[in-house]
Amino acid sequence: MFACLFQSQMLLNQLREITGIQDLQVLQSALNVCLVQQHLSMYDEYSILSVKLNNYACLCILVSFTFSDGMKRKRCEGSGESCSPADWIRQEDCPVGIRNVGNTCWFSAVIQSLFHLPVFRRLVLNYCLSERVLEKCKSHSEKRNIAFMQELRCLFALMVGSNRRFVDPSAAVELLRDAFRTSEAQQDVSEFTHKLLDWLEDAFQLAANGNNPEDKQNNPMVQLFYGTFVAERLHEGKIVSNIEQFGQYPLQVNGFNNLDECLEGAMVEGEIESLHSDQTMSSGQERWFSKLPPVLTFELSRFEFNQSLGRPEKIHKKLEFPQVIYMDRYLHKNVDQTHGRRGDVKRLKDQLTVLQQKLEGQTEPDDAGSSDGSGCPQTATQKTPIHKPFTQCRAPMEVPLQPAPHSVTEEELYFVRSCLQRWRAEVENTVNELKASIDKVSQALEGMYSDNSLCQVSYRLHAVLVHEGQASAGHYWAYIYDHANKRWLKYNDVMVTESTWEELVRDSYGGMTNASAYCLMYISDKLPYLIAEDTDDETGQALKGMDSLPSILRRYVREDNRWFQQELREWEEQFCQAQCEEVHTEKPIPEEPQNPEQEPNPEPAQEQTNEVSGEPPTDSTPAFHEEYSRLYELSQEETTPQQDPRLQHVLVYLFQNQAPNRVIERTLLEQFGDRNLSFDDRAVSIMREARSKIRLIKPEDMDMDEYLQWHDDYSMFKTVFAYLLTGLEQYQNGKIREALNYLAHAHQDNSVLLRKGERKGVDQSLIALYRRKCLKELNDNAATLFKSPDANDVAEAVTIMNECIIPCMHLMVRDSVSQEDLDVIELIRSCWCSYLGQDMDDSLQEKLSEFLPRVLDCSAELVVLKEPPKVRKSPHDLCSRLTAVMESIHSTSVITVK
């Protein structure tokens, strides 16, 4: 029960940080709803030391809490991760899902589409570099690419043979994220995807040709995914051509109804120009595929920048695509044949237009020459509109009535009826003939490229990557064809379900909802090796599951499966124990009189002090002793402007702040108890020992509030550093508004830390210095804009004052402000007061009178700072950024960062 209480407290704290919900009762209610799941997560992916909380677990908690009332949703219904780990077991022959570790659904979709291409899966699983090549790999990018490939191999191996229903891609994802200094993954999906493919190409290049980046003929990524096209244009009467390589081929969506139309538009540049601009002249450039890759990927451009709104928007237009596409008409070798067909298509379309116009002329407003039901005739050239709901043959009331005969004889009526019947029959025959001609021309158009001569190069749809949402945010998943079982499967993070072509069409074509395909992956029908499973070299039989893995990866997966089984056993034991404790709580057992002679004499709790030494607990293992000593020595290193040892590890922070030994010891145990660090038998043994020692800690031996507070302080310390470094980077890049916002938050949070101890935060002088620089520059900019004759510039100046400068000034006044800060504040006030004596428009006077009182009086207003975007706080990232930033400003400002 103590372990559950400990984890609940940690989860509450992390949920508050991630979700922004400050009401602990609300978060506690959410945890109570998911109590069973929390028993599990304590033994699954949770690590106290690294202070991580899986975003999906957080989502699961909040969704469960949200639906617990009103909607009566069953707990875990429809969620990716179920309550019991017994339900986390992979079903027989069911593919493995991939956990979403925070805006990584795009990664899952891309990786699943590649993994379920057997030829690519074999390449990754069998990836190997010789010792000679490894010795030559000295650059950071080469080492990073090799590390990424190793993580991808492990991930693929688990997807092949794991007993888990889904696996965790965190290690591979973190390597990708470290290449970008942002946590907003969804805003950079295209960039992340291209980076992923570039790394794979570079890694395979090392395996193919050692360290020769020029020769890529033997690179399997190039051989699989890259083709060439010929670009031809007419220049001074001569055809000029050049050959270019392509990977993911981009296609425009706007202006087209299906994939063939997109390809036609991409092949002939002139047609695209005539569709999307008013220009009558075009370059006439044509593109023809000269070599198609085995895996043909089309990138559908479903996002465009709206110039009027100043933001990207998603194109929701419907676009159809087939399961099998024939590429013959786009090949360079078929230029003459395709040109002839395109001429025929144009002629048939013109003919079709004429026929449709004739048909419309015969049928408007009703069947020409027919009666409207009242016996009044209408000729083919007479297009009198029908005015419903009236059925009489008369004009609208505002039009004067036309002259009419006074009497009609039976003989005359008979003659008119005869004429009308004949006319009607003639018109109907004409309409039928037109419809038949239209059908004939339409069939000719549809079959223009369907004869055998242009149906030789077929590609079959392998995967469809779908985006649901808007340009700024959304969710990604993939439909992938199961070639072995002839079915479509939907891969939605941890959920893998059987699907249908009809469901794929509904989600992928677009036009009806905000979900649509953004990437199509086709594979050649003529190359069976692409989807062929591994076979045994001796017997020729297909290898499945673990048998298809190299021996080293087979051992890795078996170890993970053994650990998973242990997790299941531990969860069952803990769950049964929790149920027993609940029963004992409801029905307490009467206390029996104790025999004083047999009463145990517990050892008194060891008195805890705040004195920290370089020696770990006496009963620690060599691994604990080594890590404890290493970090203690690191904490004794001198802090310089370019480096701060506290950023490298939480224990360094604890050592330097004289944290209690009990806090340091538990933190060390939590580090070794993290199963993500267990890569071999020795590490697993150490992890188990650490976990056993943690379980021996009794509630009376550890003040959990104190423990959590130390880790909260360290998390805030890293946040302050991240805000500070981001602010300095933004300042150097000329983004003064963004820099001021980060620095203001850094100063505010750092003040809270410094009140607890000098070594708990950062020296405020560096933050204050650049906060003043930003304030002065931003105020000068606002003053210049305010005097501009352009109304937009004036509005921008007012916005800068209201959203940036005034809130920051108010915070400075409320804090223990320095004389330098006061001087800047007075400078700003003097600047705007000087406008009072100047002649200006009434509108400017009104705007000035609105914000000037707030500039002068900072006491009567609630200060609300604009929340900065989330920042990355990984120790490696912060350390490298600190060095780079401080070196860049060292010549002008030498300040020791404490």
DSSP character string of 126-190 = T----HHHHHH--SHHHHHHHHHHHHHHHHHHHHHH-SBSEE--HHHHHHHHHTSS-S-GGGGHH
Name residue 892's amino acid: T
What DSSP designation does 379 have? -
Note if 475 is an active site residue: yes
Report DSSP state, residue 258.
B
Strands 324-326 and 458-469, bridge-based pairing? antiparallel
Helix H, strand E, coil C: the string for 647-677 is HCCHHHHHHHCCCCHHHHHHHHHHHHCCHHH
Which tokens hold the place of 358? 């004739």
Question: Do the Cβ atoms of 634 and 646 come closer than 8 Å?
Answer: no
Identify the H or E element spanning 420.
helix 410-446
Backbone angles phi, psi at 799, to 5 degrees: -65, -45
Distance CA 667, CA 518 (A): 45
**What is d(CA 73, CA 507) in angstroms, rounded to the nearest whole number?**
25
Q: How far apart are the first and last CA of the chain?
A: 40
Cα 60-62-65 angle, rounded to 5 deg: 105
DSSP characters over 690-738: HHHHHHH--GGG--HHHHHHHHHHHHHHHHHHHHHHHHHHHHHTT-HHH
In angstroms, rounded to a whole number, what is the distance separating the alpha carbons of residues 835 and 664?
Answer: 59
Dist. CA 700–CA 714, nearest whole Å: 24
DSSP string, 575-627: HHHHHHHHHHHHSPPPPPPPPTTT---PPPPPPP-S---S---TT--HHHHHH
521 token code pair: 């992956």
- Strand blocks (E) in 236-329: 238-246, 248-252, 286-291, 295-301, 303-306, 311-314, 324-326
858 catalytic residue (yes or no): no
Question: CA 228, CA 290: separation in Å to the nearest integer?
Answer: 6
Q: Which residues pair with 288 in a beta bridge?
A: 230
CA-nearest of 835, 841, 814 to 825 is 814
Specify the DSSP element, H or E, that contains 478.
strand 474-482
Which residue of the set 34, 60, 83, 105 is catalytic? Answer: 105
**H or E element, residue 520:** strand 515-524
Q: Answer for the pair 122, 529: CB distance below 8 angstroms, yes or no.
A: no
Q: Hey, what long-range contacts does 205-208 have (CB within 8 A, 24 or more apart)?
A: 206/129, 206/133, 206/137, 206/142, 206/145, 206/146, 207/127, 207/128, 207/129, 207/133
Return the structure tokens found at 652.
Answer: 């360094």
Q: Tokens standing for 690?
A: 């650490």
Catalytic residue among 475, 625, 831, 879: 475
Cα separation, 256 vs 767, whole angstroms: 54
Structure tokens at 476: 């990604």
Other beta carbons within 10 Å of 318: 12
Query: 316 and 304 in contact (C-beta within 8 Å)?
Result: no
Rg, Å, the chain Cα set: 36
SS3 track for 220-257: HHHHHHCEEEEEEEEECCEEEEEEEEECEEEEECCCCC
Cβ atoms of 202 and 141 closer than 8 Å: yes
CA–CA separation, 610 and 628 (whole Å): 16
Residues annotated as catalytic (active site), given as ranges: 105, 475
